[in-house]
Amino acid sequence: MPYQYLNVETKGPVGVIALDRPDALNALCTPLIKELEAALAAFDADDAVGAVVLTGGERAFAAGADIKEMAGKTYADCVRENFITDGWEAASHLRKPLIAAVAGYALGGGCELAMMADFIIAAETAKFGQPEITIGVIPGAGGTQRLARAVGKAKAMDMVLTGRTIDAHEAERIGLAARVVPADALLDEALAAAARIAGMGRLAALAAKAAVNAAFETTLAEGLRFERQSFHALFSTADQKEGMAAFAEKRKPAFTGR
Ligand code: CAA
C-alpha cells in the first residue's frame, strides 16, 4: 500500500516504519495516524516479520499531535470523534515487539507514541518532552500515565507541569530511554536489536512482551500468576524443545515459531 506520510519497508525479519512528514516535524495529523495504524496492522499480520522498528527523521521523531489540525476543535468535537483514541492506540496494541528509534524532537504525542513502543533507543540528539501545558492542555495520548509509570512521579510531574524538554542522556538516566547511541548509529542499533529479537522463539517473544506489560496493568500476585502460566505454556512449544536441546548440544537453535 502506498503511504503519504510514512516510509515502510522490511529488512529481513524486521518491519521498519519511518514517519515522513518532515515539513511539520512529523506532527501526527489524523491521516498519518491512520496510515500508521494500517502499517502496524500489516506487520502484525505478516508471519515473516518478527519485530518492528518505528522511527522518524533526523530533526524529529515527532513534534506531537498536529496543533494546527486540533486548534479549532470544541469539546463536543473531541468527544464525538473520540479524538486521540482511534488509531493512536494501535502502537500500544501491537502484539509483536516494537522498538522506537528516536532522533530529534519527541514531544507531546511524539513522546507518547515512543512510550507506546516496548522500549526506546535514543540518538544523542533526541529531546523528549510533554509540552502540552504550554498550549493550554495536558497530554492526551497516555503521557501522564506511561511517563509516570516509566520514570516515577517526581520526573513525570516535572515534565508534565513545566513542559520542559529533556535530552537523551537524562531520558536514559531516568528510565525513559533504554539506550543512547550516536545519531549516525541509531537505525543500525535499532535494527540489530529488532533482528536479535526476531531471531528468538517468536512465541516466547510474544509471551515475554505480554508478561512485562502485565506488570504495569495488574497486581504483583496476578502478574506473577500470569507470568508462571505463560512460562509453563511455553513448554508446549517446539521452540522450547529446540532451544534447550541446542544449548545442551552447544549449537545455535533453529527456532520455527511453533
Ligand atoms: N503541530 C503542527 N505543526 C507543527 C508541530 C505540531 N505539533 N510542531 C512543529 N510544527 C510545524 C511548525 O508549525 C512549522 O511549520 P511552518 O514551517 O509551516 O511554520 C514546522 O513544523 C517547523 O517547526 P518550527 O518552525 O517551529 O521549528 P523550530 O525548530 O523553530 O521548533 C519545536 C521546533 C520546538 C519542536 C517547535 O516546532 C514546537 O514547539 N512544536 C510544538 C511542540 C508541541 O507543543 N507538541 C505538543 C503538541 S500537543 C499534543 O501532542 C497533544 C497530545 O498529547 C496528543
Alpha-carbon span 201 to 216, nearest angstrom:
24
Q: How many CB atoms lie within 10 A of CB 102?
A: 33
Ligand 1 centroid to Cα of residue 111, in Å, is 13
Q: Any catalytic annotation for residue 136?
A: no
Q: Is 65 among the residues known to form the active site?
A: yes
Using the mean position of ligand 1's atoms as its centre, give its distance from the Cα of residue 25 in Å: 7
58 is catalytic: no
Write down the pLDDT at residue 2. Answer: 87
Residue 217 Cα to ligand 1 middle (Å)? 32
Residue 131 alpha carbon, nearest atom of ligand 1: 44
Q: Print pLDDT tens along the chain (258 aa).
A: 789 999 999 999 999 999 999 999 999 999 999 999 999 999 999 999 999 999 999 999 999 999 999 999 999 999 999 999 989 999 999 999 999 999 999 999 999 999 999 999 999 999 999 999 999 999 999 999 999 999 999 999 999 999 999 999 999 999 999 999 999 999 999 999 999 999 999 999 999 999 999 999 999 999 999 999 999 999 999 999 999 999 999 999 999 999
User: Distances from the Cα of 126 to the Cαs of 16, 56, 108, 257, in angstroms?
Assistant: 19, 11, 14, 35
135 in ligand 1 pocket by Cβ < 6 Å? yes
DSSP string of 78-118, one letter each residue: HHHHTTTTTTTTHHHH-SS-EEEEE-SEEETHHHHHHHHSS
- Whether 239 lines ligand 1, by a CB cut-off of 6 Å, is no
Q: Give the closest residue to 46 by CA, choosing from 17, 21, 19.
A: 17
